[in-house]
Every structure is written in structure tokens, then in C-alpha cells.
Structure 1
Amino acid sequence: MRITVCQLDNRPGHRDDALAALADHVAGAGSELVVLPELPFSDWLAADAAVDPARWQSSVEEHDAAVERLGRLGAAAVIASRPIVGSTGSRRNQAFVWTPAAGATGIREKHYLPDEPGFWEATWYDPGDLSFDLCHAGEARAGVQLCTELWFLEWARHYGREGAEVLCLPRATPYESLDKWLAGGRTAAVCSGAYSVSSNQWSPGGSGLDCGGLGWVIDPDGTVLATTGPDEPFVTVDADLTVARTAKTTYPRYVREQPERGSAEEPFRP
């Protein structure tokens, strides 16, 4: 399966050109799955702690309009996230998968929310339910963790047990911690036995949003296959999904948790 990741220039006035360039790359690479960054189609609202419902609604509308144009990318499946407003008025960050036949289908909503300068997410919107469901992205079974959720590695292991072949990680992460995020992506791949694939928002250093790019594709044993950079904002890798299926039977994925001593499942033996 040909998988494309990116670092997408999210500066006002640059976003449309970046998406057009991505579409050209996808066409040339024959991409089947494209993973986009977290909330990629409007300004990053959580940079400011002052919540403005009107700005949230504007972001919802910008994302809705961009989702309607995802067919221009020419991929069989696209995974990203979008802002939504629930029936009770609750604001959420929803992971979705887009296909030409079904359009955008919600998968799950971001549960683990940071709240600090530049990333006032818990201030801006509500956490989703604690659910980490698989989706189908083209021929792949995919799990999705949105940015901060990468660090809750129990869910990477959960996705591996559920048979995920691809672990999609849309991000909006800063320059100073890129090495840490790549280390987390490698660990998530090993925990899940799935390809770890991530795209990040990007702005030139000192210009606009502090997001440093570095998209990646990592194989199920933690080997980095490709990364993006300022001179190569899009990369595509031909991922053999049978490698991910086989990885579930190898170390450390085959190791099962044992019941604690003294539990009902295993009588205590001194």
C-alpha cells in the first residue's frame, strides 16, 4: 500500500498552495492512503487561550469546505481530523477517514487534551469518549491517535491486538520536541506491530505557528523508512501490509499480559 505523509504549510495564504503541491505529489507517487496533520484546514485556534465560539464555527466551516475538495488529492483514502460541534453544543476534535465513495466518516474524537501555551486544547474543546476503534482506510485496517494521544502507548498496543496494520498519527507539534516525537512514533510502531505514519503542521521557524513538520513512515519494528523536511515536504512509501500482520506474532507483540498474583484469574502461589 502506497502511503503518503507530509508537513503542511499552514500559514494563511500558503495553505491552498501547499495542498495543491501535495495533490501533484500524490498523483505522481500513486498514493493510496494520505495522512494529513491534525486540524489542517484553518488557523490553529488553540494557540490562544481566549476561546471564541465564532472562530471555532469558522474553523468548522473551513474544514467542511476543504473536506468537500479532498477528491482533488486523488487518493483512495485520506485520514485527518476536523473540529465539530455536537448536538449538545460540545466542541470536539474528530478523527475522520475520507474515501471517494463515502466522503468523510467520523472515527473517534480526541480524548487526551493538552493545555499549555500554544496548545490550549482542553480550554477550547471537550474530550471525546475513551474509545479507540479501528477504521478501514483503503485496504488497510487503521488505528488513529491524535497528536498527544501518541504518548498513551497502551492504545498503540490495543490497536495491535485489534489487528491494525497502520497507526495514523496526525499532529501539530513544535520544533523543539521533534526528536522526542520521532522516538515516540518508533515506540508506537514496535508496541503495535503496525506501520507508524504521521504528518505534522509546519511553518518556517519564527513565522506563525510553532509547528516543525517532520512527518514520518516507520515500519512495525521501529525502523524509520522516510521523513519529511523543508526541502521534501511530502514522502511516499510502499508499505507491505503483510509485514504488519506477521509482526503481530513476533517479539514483543506476542507477549501477553499476565494476571496479577492473587487475582481471581491466578491463585497466589508464594
Structure 2
Amino acid sequence: MIGELVQTRPDAGGLEAVLGHLEAGGAGPRLVVFPELALTGFPVDGAVPAHRVGDSEALARVEAAARRHGAHAVVGFAEENPGGRPYNSAALFGPAGLVGVVRKRHLPGREREWFSPGGAPAVFVTDLATIGVAICYDAWFPEYVKAQALAGAEIIVNINSIWAGGRDGGIGDGPVKRRYWATVPAARALDTQTYVLACNGFGTHDFGGAAGVWRRLGRSRIVDPLGRVLATAPADGPAVLRARLGAAKLDRARRGIALLTDSLDDHERNEDQA
């Protein structure tokens, strides 16, 4: 199968970018990944347009495009939350329609003012592979993605809007933030022995008010289960990355060092002792 990362600028006009890429890609088994909040963008002056799953024209159009082209697609969006602030969510669509929705659990810095936290990590069994979805900061917590791998994930899709830090916005100072973003996707691929599809946005976003303008780091990448980077996008500007994701590398990584098997054995031993 083919994995595709589409590095775009997430904003309120993101729907057309998502649809345009799905329509242009043709038919065939592929997993297409868009950035965090690709459909809606981040808040401006604390407000962001939110979609209700099952009652959203934008989500319905993405679902229809995935069906039409036999593709799987992961798309970030702000999800309506009747109980409070919206969720920072991601929907996985497939040829048969909506597969599932994940809500970002770990909210850094000012995101706590804009969004509600989501729940536990989840995986989805599809015709392509078993897929875990981690939204941005969630992937910085090894236990979050390790739980997905232990539940059977073969691919971790990590959608992002990684900010530059410091005066350019977001948590952390600039040099440290760049080191994290240079390291985390490969580290999680090695931790979980899965493919990691880490799709970032590019460009700036004006949050308004005291938050001001923040800049994204770009550099989306695809990493194999052996920790090797297969493709990398530039720091600024749109990009599409493609790589073939095969079972042989999964098998090689997991046979070489049995991290997942040994983790399960430890879990079972602890249960027996309890």
C-alpha cells in the first residue's frame, strides 16, 4: 500500500485542499494523511468553526470522496462538543465510509483554553492495516502510542501543527522544539515498531489578541518500523510525500528486537502476580 502525507496550511478553507488532493490522487489502496485541524484551522480570537460528526456537510464531502476513490484518509477538524469547548479531533474515512474519530487527549499550553481533552488511545482495523491515530502532542507521550502498538497498530498516523516555539509561538524554546520535532517521529517508530506517518502543517496562523502570530515547523516525514526516514517535506511550503508501506519491514523490526512481544509478556506476568 501507499502512504501519502499532504503538508498543507490548515485554515478555514482547508476543505477544498483536502478534496482537491483526494480527487487528484486517483483510485487504489492508499492512506492519505492531512494535518491537524486541516478542515477548520486553529482558533481566531478563541473561536473556531466546529463540525458535528454525522451532521456536517464538510465531513460528508470528505467521506464521499474517500468512497469514490477507494481511499483511506485521516483528516483533522474541530469537533462540536455539546458539553463545552470543542474537541481537537481526527476522522478516519475509508471506502465504506467513516471508520472512526479520535480526540486529542494531551493539550499543551494555550490549547487548554480552546479545546476539551479527549479520551484513551484507539486503533482501527481496516483493509489496509491496523491504524492508530495520534494527534500532535499525543505522540510525544510514549505510553500513548505504545498502547496503540500493543493493541495491534501497524501504522501510527500522527497529524500535527507543530509550532516553532519561543517568540514564534507554542510550547518550548525554538532550538529545543526543533530537536523534539527532528527526533519524535523516529523515536516513536522505534518504540512501537510501526510505520509513523507524521504530517505537519506549514506557514503561520494569527490567533488574534495576546496570542498573536505563530509559525509552524513543516518538515512532515514518513518513518519505517526500523526508524529510517523514508521521505521528508521542506520546512515551509506545501508538499506531498509518498512511500510504500510493506509488511516485510514490520516483520523484520519485530523479529529483530521483540519489544512488543516482551511488553505483552511483562503485562501478563504482572497480571498473574496480581
After TM superposition, list the pairs within 5 Å mapping 1:92-171 onto structure 2.
92-102=87-97, 104-115=98-109, 120-129=110-119, 131-171=120-160
* Residue aligning to 1:221: 226
CA contact (8 A) 2:15 2:58 kept: no
Out of 75, 79, 89, the position equivalent to 1:84 is 79
Deviations 1:152-176 (A, max 9, x none): 1012222222221100100001244
Distance 1:192 1:69 in 2: 33
Task: Name stretches of at least 5 consecutive residues in structure 1 with no aligned partner.
Answer: none
Q: Which has the higher contact order (CA 8 A, sep 6+)?
A: 1
User: What amino acid is aligned across from residue 220 of structure 2 in structure 1?
Assistant: G
User: What amino acid is aligned across from residue 27 of structure 1 in structure 2?
Assistant: G
Deviations 1:174-214 (A, max 9, x none): 244344223100010011110000111111799x6512322
Q: TM-score, normalised by structure 2?
A: 0.76
Distance 1:240 1:152 in 2: 26
* Residue aligning to 1:42: 40
Q: TM-score, normalised by structure 1?
A: 0.77
Once the 2 structures are TM-superposed, how far is the Cα of residue 141 of structure 1 from its aligned partner? Answer: 0.2
Q: Go from structure 1 to structure 2 and tell me whether the alpha carbon gap of 1:91 and 1:19 turns closer, same or farther (over 3 Å shift).
A: closer
Name segments (4+ residues, structure 1) moved above 6 Å: none
1:199 aligns with 2:199: yes
Q: RMSD between aligned alpha carbons?
A: 3.4
1:241 aligns with 2:247: yes
- State, as a whole percentage, how many aligned pairs show the same letter: 20
Distance 1:163 1:122 in 2: 30
Distance 1:38 1:69 in 2: 18
Q: What is the aligned length?
A: 249
